[in-house]
Structure 1
Amino acid sequence: MENQVYYGQYSLQHWIDLILKENIMLPVYQRLFVWDEEKVKTLIETFKNKQFVPPITIGAYKNASSVNQNLILDGQQRLTSVLLAHLGLYPDKATFRATMDQINLVADENDDEDNDPVILDNILEWNLKKLVEKGRNKMDILSQIVAGNYKTVNFGIDDNFLKNTFLGFSYLVPQTNDTQEQQKYYSSVFRNINVQGERLLAQESRAALYFLNENLAGFFDPEFGKHISVKVVSQETKADFVRFLALLSQYAKDGNSNRIAAGYKPKMESYYEDYIYSVIGSRTSSLFKNFSAIFPDENYKPRLERLEKTIDDLGFPKQFPSIIDMDVYLLGLIHVIVFEDKSIDLTQKDQLEQAVKDKISQLKVNEAHKKAPSALKYLQERIQSSIEIYNNYTDDE
């Protein structure tokens, strides 16, 4: 697909105006703001010293409703930092946690009073949209900020600095009105951009692929899946729902776990990408069961809703002490509900969870499994074991 690229520069004040008027916006797959306060300060000092700052990449996009949008493909961290410096705010996690602790303490001490709850922006999962929602100028935004939600900062800038300091841009204009073709193009651009200073995690980079077909984004990354995690000591890792889907799609195709992900061990990310492409129809695959065979009308939502409700009804944990626990708890459950379109017999939920716990204990007897749970032979064993358990507890009505 041919495209045009335009180049130029805007003053920092103009960039701020574009953000607040929503003339430029973040794609839905963009990551959170991750720069620490020192990096924000360094960027402002770089501007003050008239040193080079990499340009922003903006893409013209016409969505499915034929609304023209300008997407920030690269430069979220820089633009957000400029906006924060202008507002004199920083989304500091420690400040936020301290404020939340104080609010909870006061609430506990005054639980008999009918007070309105204080609504804070969640700084732990934050990007500039939180500020844009509050107003179109500095005064309006600051009037909506709850004390203690953000850290107050001062990087020594004024209106004159913003008006006379410039930041360049590249503006991409794909030569097509086809929404899906534009999505493919921008997903590719996003994944190939070298994001300055902060390397994207595999899941963050891969998220761009989910929107190659907007109708399927909720399938690859459902909201409830974001609350499932593995926590080992102080390290918490969110569950990768695409991982579950890819592994179980191959199981659905093969009928067993013997060859699942065979040959992909050093490059599991390629395995997940191949699965995504097979679902959206960009590539055919002999590895995974055809998406349309599982969902003839592409209506996956009822099954995911049933999965979410079943997890809640079973009272299963959302945080697991190891990937072994998470896999045995969830792989068979997802297989039965999402891929087989069955339901769990909730009258046997106690027996079911005991069977899951017994299997986890049995697997952990093997020290080699505990030390290297990502080894394919152990992964395949967990898949097979979990599915066999859940097959005994389906509702056959």
Structure 2
Amino acid sequence: MKVLMVHARYRHPGGEDVSAATEADALSAMGVSVERWTLPPEDGSGIRAFGRAVWNRATAAELAERVAAARPDIVHVQNFFPALSPLVHRTAARLGVPVVQSVRNWRLVCPAATRFRTGRPCDACAGHAIAWPALGRPCWRDSRTATAGAAAALGLHRLIGTWRRCVRAFVCPSAAVADMLPAFWPRAVVPNMTEAAAAGPGGGAIIYAGRLTPEKGVGLLADAWARFRGLPPLHVLGDGPARVTLEGQPNIVLLGQRPHAEVLERLAAARAVVVPSLWPEPFGRVVIEAAARGTPAIVSSAGGLPDLVEDGVTGFIVPAGSSAAIAGAVQGLHPAMRTAARAAFSRRFAAPVVAPRLLEVYRSCL
């Protein structure tokens, strides 16, 4: 089988970029011929950028050229917004090539792709073909104009049937994501994957790795470590506007944005990874990267995170928004969780286990 893997990178590199690359690597290791087309992040703004997000003829033409040259059996689109536009889906379908679309964020049901607004989860736009509740609100990039553009671009393609007619399968990393899509869209749940790794020594600091933004629950970490002084050190890997809430807090070490390889090394040595999100995380890649190294996770009950942890066995699931519950989970960690976390990873999230499921989705589309 030959697959054309299409991905537009993000302005701020993150888990979706890693997941897209990992899928391509895992399929190649299985003998699938994978041709990669990776685009740089969209750095424009204004009416021209909006036009490209709606109907990008240049990238559609390039897709057609790549299809003619590679003759793939499947076009798998990872992230498409805003650098590509859904015209690539329509072009591939017109050329007779089945299209698979990964859904690793909430963009198809929320212009901001977060389902989070003004400090709390928001589903005002869910269920609307055009996200009219977002109009006039600065949901995406803190801009009313950008938000309206995203709503219009995605709504137009919903109305003209791009998703219904041109996509054979929407691949979702969790049931939480699949359940938010329109019922008549064909979908499959295939979790994100990562390669197996040697078990780490553990026992070190608690690790937070990710963007420092309010929806990630960073403020809860500041509150937990300020109120419960007996907790082990918290090492924070990442940067963002919520960094200020952690600065000067006792027993919290801010390490800034670190290379991915270093993050993985620190996860292996950690006592646990903590993911205190307030927004409904579609997945939570850092949880499986930690589990691959035998490190348990403390996650909130938001979005797809509970699917990744067996409560009390491979870590803890705590109520979203509770700093006291986070502190209690840290205090309840025990060594047996390391063995359990690694075993669960091997059964559920290791690349050799998950990649065949993705290949089966492809076959079902032919």
Fold shared by both chains (TM-score > 0.5): no
Name the TM-score class by shorter chain: under 0.3
Decide which structure has the larger Cα Rg and report it. Answer: 1
Q: TM-score, normalised by structure 2?
A: 0.27
Structure with bigger helix share is 1
Higher relative contact order (CA 8 A, sep 6+): 1
